[in-house]
């Protein structure tokens, strides 16, 4: 399976990351992240922060959030010097230093034909995974992908910027199905994905602690 998105992105955009063959950590919002030492990732691995996770990993290279209200609440993260990605027209009308992705509804797979045209999966975590794939990553760690609300819906509590966006059990089920549907495309691309949230309900990927994964990968 050819990653045309990476090749086209590198050719047409000076800012396009070249993570070919590299390891990436995607930091989500699950409550388990409060018990995770994220500092061990610094200077070892590329980082994508999903929305409010940027508060925990300010050294991240990328922030992704499909929710325009979050970007509006954060005023577009004016002090963040990395790459910012979003979905929806509202944020683009406010800030010109952001990159808009196109989410293909009904596609729960890793799309690699065109840059920034990504699969849906029902959540920013899935979409961030597709971005990491398009940037060329070969090994990806998911951190804070709990997919349950036993410790609360997020490590920071409930969303205040858009109360309707707080997940329910039906959302967790939807996300699990989306990640499971993406497995064939990930396998065809030869990409390894590890779930570092050891108490997570995310089913498709093997679980290993963050420390164990870093040691095994020689980071």
Whether residue 219 is contained in a domain is answered as no
Tens digits of residue pLDDT in 136-170:
999 999 999 988 777 766 666 666 665 556 666 67
Count of structural domains within the chain: 1
3-state secondary structure the chain: CCCHHHHHHHHHCCCCCCCCCCEEEEECCCHHHHHCCHHHHCCCCEEEEEHHHHHCCCCCCEEEECCHHHHHHCCCCCCCCCEEEECCHHHHCCCCCCEECEEECCCCCCCCCCCCEEECCCCHHHHHHHHHHHCCCCEEEEECCCCCCECECCCCCCCCCCHHHCCCHHHHHHHHHHHHHHHHHHHHHCCEEEECCCCCCCCCCCECCHHHHHHHCCC
For 44-97, the pLDDT digits (tens) are 999 999 999 999 999 999 999 888 788 888 888 999 999 999 987 655 566 778
CATH code for position 49: 3.90.1480
Structural domain containing residue 180: 4-214
Residue 154: inside a domain: yes
**pLDDT class of 103 with cuts at 50, 70, 90:** very high
pTM equals: 0.93
Domain contains 145: yes
């Amino acid at each position: 399976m050819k990653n045309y998105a990476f090749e086209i992105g590198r050719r047409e955009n000076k800012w396009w990351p070249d993570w070919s063959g590299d390891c990436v950590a995607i930091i989500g919002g699950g409550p388990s992240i409060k018990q995770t030492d994220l500092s061990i990732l610094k200077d070892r691995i590329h980082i994508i922060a999903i929305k409010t996770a940027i508060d925990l990993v300010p050294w991240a290279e990328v922030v992704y959030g499909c929710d325009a209200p979050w970007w509006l609440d954060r005023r577009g993260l004016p002090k963040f010097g990395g790459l910012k990605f979003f979905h929806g027209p509202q944020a683009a009308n406010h800030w010109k230093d952001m990159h808009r992705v196109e989410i293909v509804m009904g596609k729960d797979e890793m799309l690699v034909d065109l840059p920034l045209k990504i699969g849906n999966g029902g959540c920013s975590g899935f979409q961030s995974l597709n971005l990491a794939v398009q940037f060329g990553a070969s090994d990806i760690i998911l951190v804070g992908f709990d997919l349950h609300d036993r410790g609360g819906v997020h490590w920071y509590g409930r969303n205040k910027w858009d109360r309707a966006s707080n997940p329910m059990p039906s959302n967790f089920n939807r996300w699990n199905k989306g990640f499971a549907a993406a497995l064939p495309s990930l396998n065809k691309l030869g990409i390894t994905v590890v779930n570092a949230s050891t108490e997570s309900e995310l089913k498709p990927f093997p679980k290993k602690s963050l420390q164990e994964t870093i040691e095994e990968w020689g980071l």
